[in-house]
Structure 1
Amino acid sequence: MADHGRRRFLTYLVAAPTLAVATRFGLDGVDPPTAQAVVPTPPAPADLVDLGDVLILAGAPTAGMLVLGIGEDGLVRFRLPREEVGQGLTTAVAMLVAEELDVPLSQVRVELDDARPELLFNQLTGSSNSIRSLYDPVRHTAAAARARMVAAAADRWGVPAGGLTTRGGAVVAPDGRTAAYGSLATAAAAPALGVPAATPKPESAHTLVGTPTSRIDARAMVTGRQEYTLDLDVPGAKPCMVRRPPTLGGTVKAVRNEAAVRAMPGVLDVVVIPTGVAVVAETFGQALDGKNALDVAWGAGTVDTLSDDGIRARLRAATAPLVVPPLLTAHLDAEFDFAFVSHAPLETNSAVADVRADRATIWSGLKSPIVAQQTIAAAVGLPVDKVTVHVVQAGGSFGRRLFFDAALEAAQVSKAGGRPVRLMWSRIDDTRHGRMRPATHHKIRATFALGQVLSFEHRVAAVETDFRHGLGEILTATAASLPPGIGNAGFAQTLFLTTVKSPYHFGLTTQVLTEVPLKMPTASWRSVYSANTRGAEEIVVDELAAKLGKDPVAFRRAFLKTAAQRAVLDKVAAEGGWGRDMPAGCAQGVGFHEEYKSRTACLVELDARDPGNPRVTKAVIAVDVGRPVNPRGLEAQLLGGLTDAISTTLRAGLHIDKGLPLEGSYSQFRYARQKDSPPEVRIFVLPATGEPGGAGELGVPAAVGAIANAYARATGTRPRRFPVNFDVDFTPFPR
């Protein structure tokens, strides 16, 4: 990757009555943001490159095109070219800004930026990459603003800037004089102001970054003041809902009773769009009544003949063969199946759209707003620069909002009807027709002799993941700069190869992905390939330890590659009391995972005395992310990963029946409830070193392995199909 020592920041002013600083971040000898001119240093070996490195490389030419303003009120406003979906990003970025500017956190406002196509590949939120990619650029931008404040004060007082300091949102002179940032904002914006070079503080001087900090939006969320898409007051925007086909990918052949539905109370319009039939009404209740009353003749879907058994059979048939012959030495074989899983964010898909003849405006929770803008512009027949896309804070994502289905539908309905609309997916829509984590089949073989693992083969077959949200373009753009075997792979292969890595010295290790191209609405789900792939591997690691007569923790410790990996494992073993006596039907389990320059270990205790209703009763997690910006936010990420793992390992999945998921709500998609959460969870964040690693995806795979291993020890049954309890114990909603 590019050498951080060669990076430079160019500061310029944005026209404004008070200070508005922007930085452009590039490489020595490069005129940013010309992407073609960037010549990175030779890539690291394939086993050292992760997806975050790829995304950072792709975004490098525009990484510093950030805007920060300070007004006469003293408030600092930073435009964030990423999406906040509950992961705490706005808080972490506000901490970075406050740290560099020496202002109280309460004076920082982080606002989500609109779609900015000039950012090229640098406005996608995903792959645990936001803090990794923003850490340096945000600090440099804030440092540049601080330097201008100091320069303005020095000019006002007629003293050298080198003798001034900053504290509490003010510039302080050696004689005790102070000037609040607000009073300097206008002078600091003067283009002729002489400003010394600005550099961020050394990490050793940080007083806020690295300190556990509560979210800046927490009060707004718990009091109902936080505005989500459907809370926005867009004049004239009318409620809209869509009647969707009875199978995935179905099409509209005819609406048999359109006139009758149009005559219903409050109904304003009925519009056929590619994904169904939309009803626009005065209220959402009337829109819902109208869509339920529609009599639609549907065309066939894309997978009408397929159900779970048929999909599993296709995956098994597509799984690449194992290479090492099992007769040469002692071996362990295992096969696993993981079901489809809904993203199930609390806020369903929603968008507001106002499409006119000459322009369009969209509001939605979007993690890939540039691609959304481009796609919507093409769909409504407008130039991209005539489509404004406002990014709105969203209530959860887990990968779901990389796609912009609701925004596209809202734009199509608005154009056809000639009025602004507020489109909402119902919970049933979101569960059945929303995007899902693909089902996977895994085949693993490990060979061993004399206490050593000689080879470890993992073959994965997965229903194809849709990457048309912009990641594919990023991977294509950076392919030439990646190591052989990665840069020339397909989208899915590149993502798989840059995220799934074994942390163990297991001899000849190979991990191979085969995708089955079924036309289903899939998307990256938290931890993407790693949740299943590394989760399955951690189960096999436990079984290998048993074959070799070793304790699972001691076995892992012996084969882990680095001291940093062993440190998190040692921490959970010590803090979790590994090996303590447990009642019959209860057991401990452990798992490990490393990804995105971070590593974690998870130890759980599970009560399976009722095997049909097992419960995790305790979890201990240790994590090393290099340099945590907000340890409290990091703890929340890991707790979320643990909850996802509890859900999808034990009960939560989607049954596909003749082309449609049976599940249609939270009452049927068995995501963990409060009663399923461990009464005791302890999370240990290891001391800071180096630069930040990623955290959003990190917590799921280790917890999947730990829970499955505890279940196996508690019940004496080695789980091979997930979730382990997956009965259709509900009456499906009508199609």
Structure 2
Amino acid sequence: METPVKAVPPVAPEAGALPGEAHAPFHTPDAEAPAGISRRGLLTYALSAPVLTVAAGFAAPRDAEAALPLTPPDTVDFFDLGDAVTLTSLPTMPLVRLSVGKNGRVAFELPRAESGQGISTALAMMIAEELDVPLNMVDVTLSDARPELLVNQLTGGSTTIRSFAGVLPLMAAQARARLLEAAARQWGLSASSLNTANGHVLASDGRKAAYATLTLAASLIPAPLNVAPKSAGQYRVVGKAAGRIDALDIVTGRKQFTLDIPVPNAKPTMVRRPPTILGTVVRVNNLGTVKAMPGVIGVCVLPRGGAIVPIPPGVAVMAETFGQAWDAVNALDVTWGAGTIDGESNASITAKLKASLPALGVPPVSIPLLGSVTIDAEFEMAPLSHAPLETDCAIVDVKRDASGNPVFCEIWAGMQTPIAAAQSVAIDLGLPPTAVKAHVITSGGSFGRRLFWDPVQQAAQVSKALGYPCKLMYHRADDMRHGRMRPPQYHRVRATTALGQVALFDHRIASPRLDGRHGFGDLVTAAVGAVPAVFQQTPGNLGVEEFLFKTMVSSPYNFGVSNKLLLPVPIIMNTASYRSVHIQPTRLCEEIMVDELAKALGKDPVAFRLEFLRSPRAIACLKAVAATGQWGKVMPKGFAQGIAVHQETRSYTACLVEIDARPAIAGTGPALVTKAVIAIDVGKPINLSGIDAQVQGALAESISIVLSSGLHVQNGLPLEGSYSQYHFSRNRHYPKDVKVIIMPPNGEAIGGLGEVGLSASSAAIANAYGRATGIKPRKFPLFFPVDFTPFPPGKLPTRLMLPLPA
């Protein structure tokens, strides 16, 4: 797989170039030019790529400033979720712990969750840069829940690096200054005459002192106030490629995830769940029989109630082994009560969503010759499973007094909101907040799933009832069917042009309510989202969801009078944020509309975008992928290119893909992405390797959710219960030819990364599919058969017993 990780080197701009533009690798295409471009013009375009000059015949006749300005301006242009998290985290940042130990190693307690996104490595690189230590001398551990941090322990929205970018380098620089001052006092020199390198303080006369010998003296020196972090020109670590600091532990099995934690006497536990979403337990009919099964320790009906969010319903079985728990769970005979969407299916839910959206009214008359065109489109999105490699799980130990009353609780789990989790469990158990200790464990994937603490709630109740530490694990079928999902959506869009300008863009979205009752990760903002507590579709949660929508969803184009309206519908399902939850489907629809507008006006899709893009950074990304990916080359029948551009969390990206749609045309399977070129501008790159990994991960996700992955809800329950049924892309679906262009630092602040890579790549795939097949993409995923036999609802799959080798 070709995956170069590099920043595009800056060059002197050519005539007509935008500030900050840079050249990208380009190979002269041996195909026809895009529509409206002569071969000679294309050659000029190639040689100047990604700067598209007027002489090439490719540049738009006017730039975006001449287009009708976006009205009203996007909220995120002035304030987005990352700004909100950064500002609210700032007051408690002085409480975050960074230290240099007596062994010379640097320790940083990160009050965020690491789930494979690489934030630990990126932050360690910032620290290594400022302290002049090797990266392998920085230890990043995940902080336990610390209520004193207030809202400064939420992981989500691609906000972690942005939140720490302004404070962590300063903290490390202050630590370095104290070490310099300690050495200066020891040697009778001025601190300004000393330097640091490789974990040592150096004097010009050749003396040096290891940090380990200076930490005690440095700890007695007040933090200086006049210290500034390094300038970009001094960087030796930041902006380079680095492997993950925990990679060796992961691949050698030394890394401990939740179920690896050796909590003494923790007992394996699994749960029998209802046959429909959020069904209730009426009674267990064979309790004595199940309790008598081999290895079974106890059976616990999970109680109703729960602070902030309800405790998920079910009947838990604790046993000596997970196999015994699994067998006992399937042996349970339970009478179930109704769930919240009994009898519903994808089709019926979609119909309700569609009916909830107000009509767009009578469309204006289209006169293409005068540049007046109106395009109406409606889009359907199936619900999605987060499908992390590690299913939901938790270990909880509730200590009881002689009377059986809880006195202390200890939690081990992957948690994006550990403060809210610990404090809500304290309420559930009737404990003071100080009697609950929560350890944040690295998780094997999350994508927003672990913003909620469902397994922690259940494990706490089981441990309280049965008297043992509870090691609770969701089966994969539980995870997909009863875990939280990205809700289905229905989009209605109208775009109207006048005299070649996009004058109106109206986008309306209906979705079952997105559960946002985690708030900013603390009990107070979570409680605000849960008011009033007797309703699932609370006014408080509606406010949280609308806030997230307004501070995350944006458009990169000057499309005149624009409207994006989210209408949550009170359909009660298990929902949670999913990587770019509202943004990806909204921008997917918009980028499809952009391609269709360009076609209706007889314009090349790249030229059309360049005409209306609002940001030079977005333009630079688009030009880079168009050049490197040889946009417009002739392709065989059934093949096509697709392109899209996106902005999110102060970052910009563009993607060009090539697709083989022959399997889709023949009806034998999903289309295949054969090539991808992605440009990403995060303002200030930290770890080039980490950026590349995140962008490629987003591409894999886009391939999945656009082409093949989704949940079929039928009779109130998703049919999918395993990776063999939920068609996430495999290695064979991932292109062998992938180029990631990391745009160089441009003086802008650090932007987000984890979610920004999804929208452009998913839209480029959809647009390529439309060009290859002639079919307008409207329902996602595009290939969505039920080609499997579902597991019986309300039961786990039968456990496969393999014979032991002789």
TM normalised by structure 1 equals 0.91
In structure 2, how many angstroms separate the alpha carbons of the residues matched to 1:64 and 1:673? Answer: 44
Q: Indicate which of 526, 529, 534 corresponds to 2:582.
A: 529
Q: Indicate which of 357, 360, 385 corresponds to 1:342.
A: 385
Q: Indicate which of 173, 176, 182 corresponds to 2:203.
A: 173
**2:475 corresponds to 1:426:** yes
In structure 2, the partner of 1:549 is 602
In structure 2, how many angstroms separate the alpha carbons of the residues matched to 1:610 and 1:309? Answer: 25
Instruction: Determine if contact 1:320/1:514 at 8 Å carries over to the other structure.
Output: no
In structure 2, how many angstroms separate the alpha carbons of the residues matched to 1:150 and 1:336? Answer: 61
**2:496 corresponds to 1:447:** yes
% identical equivalent positions: 53
**Measured at CA, do residues 582 and 325 of structure 1 come closer, stay the same or move farther in structure 2, by a change above 3 Å?**
closer
In structure 1, how many angstroms separate the alpha carbons of the residues matched to 2:466 and 2:528? Answer: 38
Q: Secondary structure at the match of 1:63?
A: helix
Paired letter, 2:717: L
In structure 2, the partner of 1:636 is 693
In structure 2, the partner of 1:16 is none
Mapping 1:108-127, distance limit 5 Å? 108-127=138-157
Q: CA deviation at 1:198?
A: 2.8
Indicate the structure whose relative CO is greater, using CA pairs within 8 Å and at least 6 residues apart.
2
**Measured at CA, do residues 378 and 688 of structure 1 come closer, stay the same or move farther in structure 2, by a change above 3 Å?**
same
**2:571 corresponds to 1:518:** yes
Paired letter, 1:247: T
In structure 2, how many angstroms separate the alpha carbons of the residues matched to 1:296 and 1:375? Answer: 28
In structure 2, how many angstroms separate the alpha carbons of the residues matched to 1:524 and 1:52? Answer: 15
In structure 2, how many angstroms separate the alpha carbons of the residues matched to 1:324 and 1:340? Answer: 31
Q: CA deviation at 1:196?
A: 6.8
Q: Secondary structure at the match of 1:358?
A: strand
**2:549 corresponds to 1:496:** yes
In structure 1, the partner of 2:338 is 300
Instruction: Determine if contact 2:382/2:487 at 8 Å carries over to the other structure.
Output: yes
Mapping 1:182-261, distance limit 5 Å? 182-190=212-220, 197-261=226-290
Instruction: Determine if contact 1:320/1:512 at 8 Å carries over to the other structure.
Output: no
In structure 2, how many angstroms separate the alpha carbons of the residues matched to 1:196 and 1:63? Answer: 16
**2:727 corresponds to 1:667:** no
Q: CA deviation at 1:46?
A: 5.9
Q: CA deviation at 1:519?
A: 1.1
Paired letter, 1:126: G
In structure 1, how many angstroms separate the alpha carbons of the residues matched to 2:705 and 2:763? Answer: 12
1:235-294 Cα offsets, whole Å, 9 max, x none, are 111111111111110111111111111111111111111421111111111111111111
In structure 2, how many angstroms separate the alpha carbons of the residues matched to 1:393 and 1:100? Answer: 26
1:120-166 Cα offsets, whole Å, 9 max, x none, are 11110010100000112211221121122112111211211121111
Mapping 1:10-159, distance limit 5 Å? 47-159=77-189
Instruction: Determine if contact 1:151/1:194 at 8 Å carries over to the other structure.
Output: no
In structure 1, the partner of 2:49 is none
Instruction: Determine if contact 2:519/2:544 at 8 Å carries over to the other structure.
Output: no
Q: CA deviation at 1:657?
A: 0.6
In structure 2, how many angstroms separate the alpha carbons of the residues matched to 1:630 and 1:474? Answer: 33
Q: CA deviation at 1:421?
A: 1.3
Paired letter, 2:395: V
Q: CA deviation at 1:177?
A: 0.6
In structure 2, the partner of 1:27 is none
1:14-69 Cα offsets, whole Å, 9 max, x none, are xxxxxxxxxxxxxxxxxxxxxxxxxxxxx996642211112222222113321112
Paired letter, 2:390: E
**Measured at CA, do residues 494 and 603 of structure 1 come closer, stay the same or move farther in structure 2, by a change above 3 Å?**
same
Instruction: Determine if contact 2:257/2:442 at 8 Å carries over to the other structure.
Output: yes
In structure 1, the partner of 2:61 is none
Q: Indicate which of 315, 319, 326 corresponds to 1:277.
A: 315
In structure 2, the partner of 1:692 is 750
Paired letter, 2:578: W
In structure 1, the partner of 2:324 is 286
In structure 2, how many angstroms separate the alpha carbons of the residues matched to 1:252 and 1:218? Answer: 43
* Structure 2 unaligned spans of 5+: 1-72, 304-312, 367-371, 400-405, 530-539, 794-806
In structure 2, how many angstroms separate the alpha carbons of the residues matched to 1:488 and 1:667? Answer: 34
In structure 2, how many angstroms separate the alpha carbons of the residues matched to 1:521 and 1:196? Answer: 49
Q: CA deviation at 1:322?
A: 2.5
1:463-505 Cα offsets, whole Å, 9 max, x none, are 1100011249659999xxxxxxxx9982111111111111111
Mapping 1:327-338, distance limit 5 Å? 327=365, 330-338=373-381
Q: Secondary structure at the match of 1:610?
A: helix
* Structure 1 unaligned spans of 5+: 1-42, 479-486
Q: CA deviation at 1:205?
A: 1.2
**Aligned-residue RMSD, C-alpha:** 1.9
Paired letter, 1:528: V
1:482-532 Cα offsets, whole Å, 9 max, x none, are xxxxx9982111111111111111111111110111110000000110110
Paired letter, 1:459: R
Q: Secondary structure at the match of 1:499?
A: coil
Instruction: Determine if contact 1:352/1:364 at 8 Å carries over to the other structure.
Output: yes
Q: CA deviation at 1:671?
A: 0.3
In structure 2, how many angstroms separate the alpha carbons of the residues matched to 1:667 and 1:330? Answer: 44
**2:779 corresponds to 1:725:** no
In structure 2, how many angstroms separate the alpha carbons of the residues matched to 1:195 and 1:666? Answer: 54
**Measured at CA, do residues 177 and 461 of structure 1 come closer, stay the same or move farther in structure 2, by a change above 3 Å?**
same
Paired letter, 1:518: I
1:535-557 Cα offsets, whole Å, 9 max, x none, are 01100100000000000111101
In structure 2, how many angstroms separate the alpha carbons of the residues matched to 1:44 and 1:617? Answer: 35
Q: CA deviation at 1:335?
A: 0.5
In structure 2, how many angstroms separate the alpha carbons of the residues matched to 1:474 and 1:325? Answer: 42
1:430-466 Cα offsets, whole Å, 9 max, x none, are 0101100010001111111322211111111111100
1:161-190 Cα offsets, whole Å, 9 max, x none, are 121111100111121111001111122222
TM normalised by structure 2 equals 0.83
Aligned structure 1 segments of 4 or more residues deviating by more than 4 angstroms: 43-46, 193-196, 472-478
Q: CA deviation at 1:100?
A: 0.9
**Measured at CA, do residues 194 and 723 of structure 1 come closer, stay the same or move farther in structure 2, by a change above 3 Å?**
closer
Q: CA deviation at 1:325?
A: 4.3
**2:597 corresponds to 1:564:** no
Q: Secondary structure at the match of 2:439?
A: strand
In structure 2, the partner of 1:3 is none
Count of residues in Structure 1 that have an aligned counterpart in Structure 2: 684
**Measured at CA, do residues 432 and 380 of structure 1 come closer, stay the same or move farther in structure 2, by a change above 3 Å?**
same
In structure 1, how many angstroms separate the alpha carbons of the residues matched to 2:441 and 2:493? Answer: 43
In structure 2, how many angstroms separate the alpha carbons of the residues matched to 1:267 and 1:574? Answer: 64
Instruction: Determine if contact 1:85/1:397 at 8 Å carries over to the other structure.
Output: yes
Mapping 1:699-710, distance limit 5 Å? 699-710=757-768
Mapping 1:561-640, distance limit 5 Å? 561-611=614-664, 612=667, 613=669, 614-640=671-697
Instruction: Determine if contact 1:147/1:196 at 8 Å carries over to the other structure.
Output: no
Q: Secondary structure at the match of 2:155?
A: coil
Paired letter, 2:318: V
